Chains A and B, each alone.
Chain A
């Protein structure tokens, strides 16, 4: 990046980014650890599986991204794709 580090905004500095990554992983770990101590109120037996919601969040989101990526092959178009049609 051309901008010198001291001129970068706080959130653009590599040091901050590193801290934020640690925070993110730390929070992930915290929620999983907390799960050991909570009372469960499951509606379905699947919910009793340890880390169910972590897995659900992870799989659902990566699934959505991969599906979106796959569909993008068919659905992405240049921004002027419709221009001829709309001019008529």
Chain B
């Protein structure tokens, strides 16, 4: 259901199709409600509500549950939550007009979905729900149940993890079954035993009813790595290619190489609630993942791949990724990584086609990184940013603040450093942390958030009390901690300057004969070439590229037979710092010049943001391949129509 991303299939549905095939069960018929809603909006709005508008809500509406609100009227009645959310949106200065218009279409859409589902005469309809898919799914399930009480309504997915699934089953009587936890093993079990009440008691993670009473089975085991199944996306690609939406978007693949978080198993980042009840890290055998990717790329002729893992399995840097690099395909993959990668490892990512990463940088303040139990220091983050810039990797990151106990003075020290970083990719924004279910901040009030309540906008999408919402929802309101809104203004201003300066800034290292040249072309700094001519300077610069303390540098220089007087090294570092060539925090230093030259895309300051992923709706798709008896086959349009039409 909405708000699944339009350009890629639901991995959950793909995996469930895959496990059914593996278990010799009939592969369930699927319904891609997100694609269908985007089509419906396009049609009903005469082209005004395009996939761009849909995507804007899908990507940015979650913190205010706007996508759920679009369907709240369809679930509870036209006026439910309408005025309240309108006032809330005005107070929060949200772009609200689009979702208001979408809401006008939601009721009719739900009827359409129910009609289309009933036409298949199903016995059981399963909804996989994550983030803002709850209310649209509930609206359809409720109306479907009213129309056909004999159809069993099953819910599963991230929104059903832990107590949320129990609450959803408890509060919505038309939901017959909720399957909590990873369903790779339990979904086939449910299908096999469907209808037999005694068997339902044996299905781990299932919420069901007997004699009108809710029964909650214990959570299932986490699926072991060797049992993580290859998804089957055939149905989605068929639907996408047949859809008008396919004309707006380039299709992508969504795959997983691992579940859980190896860092979070031991040091759970205090604000992160992403892994729910499944933190244990499990990676597919590398050869299995590469084979899966190979299969999906060949089958669907798609080279853009989002790997949904919460963190890259480190051994893949020695196994799967070099294997992929060796194939010389022009892949573009997205991965989430930890910001402790070496320069060589970043190079491995790029060689394998990983051109988009989310390294979880979060902050450049050591004290704050400690408070979030991030396991990296600011110099590590800066080194990762530098190396990603060198390798041409797009880095997604947000600067998070609002951690209990953080101090303005610690930010002030780092703010003074930020002008040195303008050639590296700036944060997408500066955001106060939210409280998410499953995070340490949620689980342990002693970490600084002693009180909480379900996030305000949930009141405008669910007709439930705060007590009922408490177990159902994912986002919570808390009194603010850490920096005040006023105290964070200097950071916002510095980030604004950074974002403006980045497109026109570079600081590059080039190796000339007997010298290292640091070519500085950053905004706000003198245009200059700095020349490191002595072997001692060059070696010290090499050490700075890795990063470390002055004491460590002195020791390593000494080990290399290049002893340097501490005062002289200090003066040299001071000069580098004065010229903005190094970043320092808490006695650690790191060099800032990018090492592999990445020449910027012309006009990158004008580069589109997410809308860049959209193509014109009149885009034509051709498939050219040799045909039998000497004639070519061109699926799509005749050659005459595909010919460019005159001068540009």
Chains A and B bind each other = no
Q: Interface residues, chain B, CB within 8 Å of chain A? A: none
Q: Write the residues of chain A forming the contact surface with B, with a CB cutoff of 8 angstroms.
A: none
